[in-house]
């Protein structure tokens, strides 16, 4: 009996499999009919389709098109190369310039770091140019990218300091240069201003280059259309548009932001745009794109540009014989952000309370003391510390101002002779780090270095006097020899240069073709002795 049921079960399975096979065959035949026969039929039916044609009409150029064509040729791509630190033979911190970063005014305790908000990603060596802060120890070779624009047909270009800072080689590509793997035209630094993050570089040219026009940034209004042009993410000649979102933005707290009052815009700005122009609808540059606010390292609708009026002032100083920005100072410091209660207790509604007076400085000589409240300059009321710094810094050293101040609630006045901000600031630090003037010997021009006399303690440690190198110009004679900031030059061509006068005398006698041999020491390691570095002056 069991065998009977087994045979019955096997017969049922056979019938089931046969039915499934028949169904599969029918499905395959249907599929063939649909995808084969009908598909072929559809292809043949395309004979009634109408070919597409491209219209030969064009949209009338708007202002954005006109401005891009007008300004674009003067916008350049800047790429830099930074060698590994162990192989570098030049200045690891860029061109020769020693601008103090905590000038008089503001609370130095508040001005050093990034502040509470670290979303300002590209503010000084973060994202735009691909630059990163120099870390100790050997670093790999780095390439970075930025933008700039030509302001003089002879090849003078404005960009951001952080685009070229620390670079061993700087190259510029014009919009008319061929799009090849070549880096471009070699550029050199004319001068930099760290306080405003601006730099002037130059390329050699045998014919006049296209330039931009600078506009009056003070006349710019919130809500105006603006255009940003640059090389974001290595995409050269990129044009974006937006509006001015705000003016007079300070994004770094304390003294670090005293000269950084930006135009805010929502024109798309990204890494690589640094140093490029912000242009108004008259085709005039009203700002230099400098920083972005971001939480993602990319554009999020908030960018910042240094106003053109500030740019023009800085540029004129950087192309002067001194190649540095000269700012005035009266030798005081004060604390920012005082509570209104302080004003009520001290009896003033505007002004600043003097927190420190540099001994022997301009304010000290004029009788200004700690806890005095400065309320006016030449009869004009000052609002706050920024107002005071902006006014005094804009005045040339040697000019006289009339300060109005309160002492124990009583109004008083004093005549103060404005001093050089760099020199005063260096004195307030207890060091003589002021960048010296180029008094005709042209050590910067001839050799590519900025120096100052070593202090007495350093001279005692070395066992001799000398000139401390405080800056080396990239690609200069000194740079190629291997001179670096921090080294001390004790003799040139066997002649002692322990004083400024001795140094200037020797340098003034050097000419193109002269053999120059420097005797240098490392003041931190005088036990290493003297090193000789020499070459023929080009």
Catalytic residue list = 162, 197, 274
**Which residue has 């301009």 as its token pair?**
362
Do strands 238-249 and 328-329 pair parallel, antiparallel, or not at all (unpaired)? unpaired
Its sign, for the CA torsion 361, 367, 372, 377, is negative
Walk along the chain (538 residues) and give the pLDDT tens digit of each residue: 555 555 555 566 565 556 566 655 555 555 554 454 444 555 568 888 889 988 888 777 788 999 999 999 999 999 988 776 434 433 333 333 322 222 234 333 333 333 334 444 444 333 343 443 444 444 556 677 889 999 999 999 999 999 998 888 899 999 888 776 678 899 999 999 988 999 999 999 999 999 999 999 999 999 999 999 988 877 778 899 999 999 988 877 656 667 888 999 998 888 788 899 999 999 999 999 988 776 665 667 788 999 999 999 999 999 998 888 888 999 888 866 667 777 777 778 888 888 888 888 899 999 999 889 999 999 999 988 888 888 998 898 899 999 999 998 899 999 999 998 877 776 554 444 444 444 334 566 788 888 888 877 788 888 888 999 988 887 788 888 889 888 999 999 989 998 888 898 888 888 888 889 999 998 888 888 888 888 898 8
Tokens read off for 4: 């009977």
Q: How far is the C-alpha of 283 from the C-alpha of 409, rounded, in Å?
A: 52
Contact between 350 and 441 (Cβ < 8 Å): no
Q: Do domains 213-318 and 328-427 have the same CATH topology?
A: no
Class of domain 435-536: mainly beta
Q: What is the pLDDT of residue 470?
A: 85
Enter the pTM of the model.
0.61
Architecture of domain 213-318: Beta Barrel (2.40)
Q: What is the pLDDT of residue 351?
A: 87
Q: What is the pLDDT of residue 322?
A: 82
Closest of 2, 168, 160 to residue 90, by C-alpha: 168
Q: Backbone phi, then psi, for 426, in 5-degree steps?
A: -60, -40
Domain ranges (residues) in the chain: 66-100+128-203, 213-318, 328-427, 435-536
Architecture of domain 328-427: Roll (2.30)
Closest of 319, 288, 309 to residue 394, by C-alpha: 309
Q: What is the pLDDT of residue 21?
A: 60
What does each C-alpha distance from 481 to 55, 303, 510 come to in angstroms? 63, 41, 16
Q: What is the pLDDT of residue 206?
A: 92
**Which residue has 């110009």 as its token pair?**
473
Architecture of domain 66-100+128-203: Beta Barrel (2.40)
């Amino acid at each position: 009996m069991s065998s009977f049921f087994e045979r019955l079960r096997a017969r049922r399975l056979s019938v089931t499999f046969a039915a499934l096979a028949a169904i599969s065959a029918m499905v395959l035949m249907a599929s063939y009919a649909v995808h084969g026969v009908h598909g072929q039929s559809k292809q043949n039916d395309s004979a009634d389709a109408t070919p597409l044609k491209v219209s030969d009409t064009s949209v009338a150029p708007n202002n954005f098109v006109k401005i891009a064509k007008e300004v674009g040729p003067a916008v350049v791509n800047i790429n830099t190369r930074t060698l590994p630190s162990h192989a570098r033979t030049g200045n690891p911190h860029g061109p020769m310039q020693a601008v103090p970063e905590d000038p008089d005014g503001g609370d130095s305790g508040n001005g050093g770091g990034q502040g509470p908000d670290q979303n300002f990603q590209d503010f000084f060596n973060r994202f735009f140019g691909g630059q990163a802060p120099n870390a100790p120890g050997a670093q790999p070779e780095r390439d970075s990218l930025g933008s700039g624009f030509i302001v003089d047909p002879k090849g003078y270009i404005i960009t951001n300091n952080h685009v070229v800072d620390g670079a061993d080689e700087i190259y510029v590509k014009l919009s008319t240069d061929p799009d090849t793997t070549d880096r471009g035209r070699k550029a050199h630094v004319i001068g930099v201003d760290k306080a405003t993050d601006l730099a002037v570089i130059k390329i050699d040219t045998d014919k006049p280059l296209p330039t931009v026009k600078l506009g009056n940034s003070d006349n710019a209004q919130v809500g105006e259309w603006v255009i940003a042009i640059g090389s974001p993410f290595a995409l050269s000649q990129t044009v974006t548009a937006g509006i001015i979102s705000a003016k007079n933005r300070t994004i770094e707290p304390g003294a670090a932001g005293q000269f950084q009052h930006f135009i805010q815009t929502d024109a798309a700005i990204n890494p690589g745009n640094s140093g490029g122009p912000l242009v108004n609808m008259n085709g005039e540059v009203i700002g230099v794109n400098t920083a972005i606010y971001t939480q993602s390292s990319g554009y999020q609708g908030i960018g910042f540009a240094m106003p053109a009026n500030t740019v023009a002032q800085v540029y004129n100083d950087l192309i002067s014989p001194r190649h540095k920005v000269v700012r005035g100072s009266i030798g005081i410091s004060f604390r920012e952000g005082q509570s209104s209660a302080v004003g009520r207790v001290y009896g003033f509604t505007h002004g600043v309370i003097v927190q420190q007076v540099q001994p022997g400085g301009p304010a000290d000589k004029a009788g200004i003391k700690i806890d005095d409240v400065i309320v006016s300059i030449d009869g004009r009321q000052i609002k706050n510390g920024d107002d005071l710094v902006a006014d005094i810094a804009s005045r040339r050293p040697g000019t006289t101002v009339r300060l109005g101040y309160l002492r124990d609630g009583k109004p008083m006045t004093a005549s103060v002779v404005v001093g050089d901000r760099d020199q005063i600031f260096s004195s307030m630090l207890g060091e003589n780090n002021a960048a010296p003037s180029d008094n005709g010997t042209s050590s910067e021009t001839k050799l590519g270095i900025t120096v100052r006399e070593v202090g007495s303690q350093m001279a005692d440690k070395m066992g001799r006097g000398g000139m401390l190198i405080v800056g080396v110009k990239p690609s200069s004679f000194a740079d190629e020899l291997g001179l670096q900031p921090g080294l001390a030059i004790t003799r040139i061509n066997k002649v002692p240069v322990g004083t400024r006068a001795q140094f200037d005398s020797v340098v003034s006698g050097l000419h193109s073709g002269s053999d120059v041999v420097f005797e240098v020491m490392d003041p931190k390691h005088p036990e290493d002795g003297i090193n000789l570095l020499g070459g023929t002056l080009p």
